[in-house]
Amino acid sequence: MSELRVLPGGPEGAEPEPQAGLVPVAQRTRVVVHRMEGGLENGESEARALSAAGFPIFTQADPDRPRLIPLADIKYVVLGSVEDPNLEADPGDKAEGRKAILRFRDGEWIPAYMDPSQANDGVGLAVKIRLTERQRVIPAVAASRALLEMQFVDTWTTLPEGPTPQRRRSDIEQAAARQGKDLHKLANDFRDRLALVRDAGLTTGDTLAFSRAVRTYLDRFLAEDSITLNPGEKSALADIILRAAVGYGPLDPLLHDRSVSEIMVNGPDQVFIERRGVLTKADVRFDDENQLLETIRRMVATTGRHIDGLNPMVDARLPDGSRVNAIIRPASIHGPALTIRKFKDAVLGMDDLTREGSLSPAMSEFLKAAVLGRMNILVSGGTGSGKTTSLNVIARFIPHNQRVITIEDAARRGPWLRGPRHAAGHEHRPRRLDVDHPLQLRA
């Protein structure tokens, strides 16, 4: 792989000698950050790998200071330019390294070679993406948390069909149904058979290991039943099983879409989303009411809550802090209903609110003085008005040598409570028939 470098100006392109006492500055490379929401971010960076915090990038708007893109927003980062004539040639099927199809949680897939020179640190995966039209490869780093699975192949002839990487699974499923192939019925059958298999890959808890094991057994089940599927149908079948077992089924792509702020489910085929303040119907659906109910139960189970006919309403939270409200029969006449208000992990400060005109500099100083003076502060407002954001901002003024105790209905501890702070969080537990002593917000 050729080294991509940006040489500083000088006689005949030569690099200047470093001055005594100065540390050489890392050279920048052109990068393109592919976001989970589908957007692209062009710029330059001195980094060649992802960190737990994210990826720093210099943009034209501010070429002197890097801006950190949070890891949760990143799908993969391309290092270099596709126009570079010095890119490494694509070795094709003769490549010595491992070949794989990387499938992301938003449905996109890319063919790539594993980069043996870079170790997998659990945050980012170093690869070389195939540029099939140019017959070249370009280095990149894929975010591990954005990956749904990796399918290793022996030859590139096993690539999924279709001219574009962004495929609609629903189209593949409908085409298969017209040929008498019910992929959802097959998925249900194979899930039952997988439950009887004793394999470490299916129980290790590692998403990538699980997906590889599932695909291995799918090939075996299809061969045993003499069922023939094309690569696209086989991929769609694997996706149905994986999304049901890892994550929250049809809602997974919406949960990973950073532009979606709220998800409202009124029934198996009535899924609505709020994107940039506009309410629209989403192009996803549940198979039936049972699948929706199972998804709700899986969500609330992560917080130790329970939902059934005797406790038909529940408020909970997802691991990322998103708030969940669910209601089922008999309280819900038309069946299970679900609302997810997604957690915004953007860390705002008082300067950000002042710059945006949300409050004046004088009010900023007053709030800071009120916190330092240990005054009682009441934050109130309607849904989505910014109560949690305001609380997170003003709570940053609490000195680090003070202990912070939070008592919440549904816990959503903000970024100001993370890290080396003396903090303890508590959460309300509602009354249940099988629990004698609920945890009330008031003593």
- Mean pLDDT for each consecutive 10-residue tract of the chain (443 residues)? 38 43 61 82 89 89 85 90 87 84 82 79 86 87 87 69 44 61 76 76 65 81 82 77 72 81 90 87 85 83 75 81 86 89 71 81 89 89 78 83 76 52 67 54 57
C-alpha–C-alpha distance, residues 180 and 39, integer Å? 37
Q: What's the order of all strands across the beta sheet hosting 313-317?
A: 278-281, 270-275, 260-267, 337-341, 323-327, 313-317
**What is residue 11's DSSP assignment?**
G
- Rounded to two decimals, what is the model's pTM? 0.47
Q: Count of residues for the chain?
A: 443
Instruction: Give me the phi and psi of 251, to 5 degrees please.
Output: -85, -10
pLDDT of residue 263: 93
Question: Which contiguous run of DSSP H or E holds residue 44?
Answer: strand 40-45
Number of Cβ within 10 Å of residue 30's Cβ equals 17
Tell how strand 99-104 and strand 323-327 pair up.
unpaired
Distance CA 11, CA 27 (A): 18
The predicted structure's pLDDT at residue 15: 45
Nearest to 337 by CA among 404, 430, 270: 270
233 near 222, Cβ under 8 Å? no
H or E segment to which residue 64 belongs: strand 62-70
What is the 8-class DSSP label of residue 146? G
User: Looking at residue 244, what is its pLDDT?
Assistant: 67
> Which run of H or of E encompasses 362?
helix 361-372
Helices H / strands E in the chain, number of each:
10, 18
The residue type at 350: M
Q: What is the pLDDT of residue 22?
A: 37
**Omega prior to 66 cis, within 30 of 0:** no
Spatial CA neighbour of 201 closest among 214, 189, 188:
214
